[in-house]
Amino acid sequence: MRPRNSLNFSGGPGALPESVLQQVQEAVVEVPEVGLSILGISHRSDWFAAVVGELENNIRTLLGAPDNYRVLFLQGGATQQFSMVPMTLLRGKEHAAEYLHTGYWSGKAIPEAQRVGPVRVAWSGAAAGFGRLPGDDELSFSANAPYFHYVSNETVEGLQFHRVPGRDDVPRVCDMSSDFLSRPCEAERYSLIYAHAQKNLGPAGVTVVLVRDEALPEEARDDLPGFLNYRNHIQTHSNFNTPPVFAIYVALLVTRWLMDEIGGVARMAEINRSKAELMYDLLDGSDGFYRGRAAIQDRSLMNVTFNLPTPELERRFLSDALESGFSGLAGHRAIGGLRASIYNALPLSAVEQLADFMEDFRRAHRPAP
């Protein structure tokens, strides 16, 4: 069976809105207002400068970020930010940067920072298998830390912070790759936010960095490679070298969709909440057939992770789902199980169809009474 694009529950790259795909299809041949293919337009053209400008403004508006924040479009994915952040904010520092180790992706960020300078892991969920996030009573942070880093949504485990951890007098840095623009964000409480595009914002190839001007060192440091210096990207409006023109253009179309068709991030958050509620109600009402992986209070509205009673049933679930057109439901290879990623672009109707499929599957396979 072939998967159906409207039923793509992939963890990343994630589904994109249908109306955006239609515009992209046209732009690959010819961007209407330019007369050239999006794949062959100069990154030095006035048109592309306007694309970058509009995308910067849209992201600033959607995040509610004040004027002293810069929006950058970089390459190297979120992974490059795992290094670029400490190279900028931790090098040569005496006090440790503080990190939360809440799952797979924060676990990738920590060793990259440790290569650069002192790091204190303020809390780790490793011993408990990353089944939950810390409560505020389990956290204490130093006022001297150069910065505090956390991942707002652990994509693999399906854990999401529903509050902003950390102290407001220490620069706060957040990897929002998998819940970027999925809900309102108190941007001014962050010194730096990064998110690659390929989960909620566009195709792979571009990573958004929102950075408060004052958070960066005054001097452009010449002990860093030019590309790894945020100042170079600020000065050139993300045109330091050839940027990923196509990915940036698609991200612009997605922000227009979010603003004009959806009506902004507050409305997006309501829709995302309805989708997640449908999924979690189904898990909770399944008499233990579907077992949610994440602690209830920390459940992600983006990645719903669950298990079935046996690995055999999980394999059967995946093959039956694909038979019905659903794709992307296998859990991350690091932990297995099942995962339904319900990013912004996935409509409520797709989640309803998945819920119907899951009900049928449970009826067919539940243990005999």
Ligand X SMILES: *Cc1c(COP(=O)(O)O)cnc(C)c1O
Name the residues annotated as catalytic. Answer: 105, 175, 199
77 binds ligand X (CB under 6 A): yes
Q: Which residue among 79, 124, 232, 239 contacts ligand X (CB under 6 A)?
A: 79
- Our CB check for ligand X shows the closer of 155 and 327 to be 155
Sole residue written with tokens 């102290």: 167
* Among 254, 151, 245, 165, residue whose Cα is nearest residue 202: 254
- Told to check if 305 binds ligand X by CB under 6 A, we report no
Tokens of 49: 């400068």
Which residues within the stretch 86-145 sit at the binding site for ligand X (CB under 6 A)? Answer: 105
Q: Residue 166 interacts with ligand X (CB under 6 A)? A: no
**Which of helix, strand or coil describes residue 250?**
helix
Q: Which of residues 310-329 bind ligand X (CB under 6 A)?
A: none
Q: Which is nearer to ligand X, 19 or 79 (CB)?
A: 79
* Minimum CB–partner distance for residue 108 and ligand X (Å): 7
- CB nearer to ligand X: give 105 or 306: 105
Is position 175 an interface residue for ligand X (rule: CB under 6 A)?
yes
Residue span binding ligand X (CB under 6 A) among the ranges 38-46, 72-80, 275-283, 286-294? 72-80
**Does 309 interact with ligand X (rule: CB under 6 A)?**
no
3-state secondary structure (DSSP) of residue 153: strand
Q: In what order do the strands lie in the sheet with 148-151?
A: 69-74, 207-212, 192-196, 172-175, 148-151, 97-101, 119-124
Does 205 bind ligand X (CB under 6 A)? Our answer is no
DSSP 287: T
Report the alpha-carbon distance of residue 89 to residue 117 in Å, rounded. Answer: 10
Shortest distance (Å) from residue 1 CB to ligand X: 27
Amino acid at 61: T
E strand map for the chain: 69-74, 97-101, 119-124, 148-151, 153-154, 159-160, 172-175, 192-196, 207-212, 291-292, 303-307, 338-341
Q: Which residues bind ligand X (CB under 6 A)?
A: 12, 77-79, 105, 151, 155, 175, 177-178, 196, 199
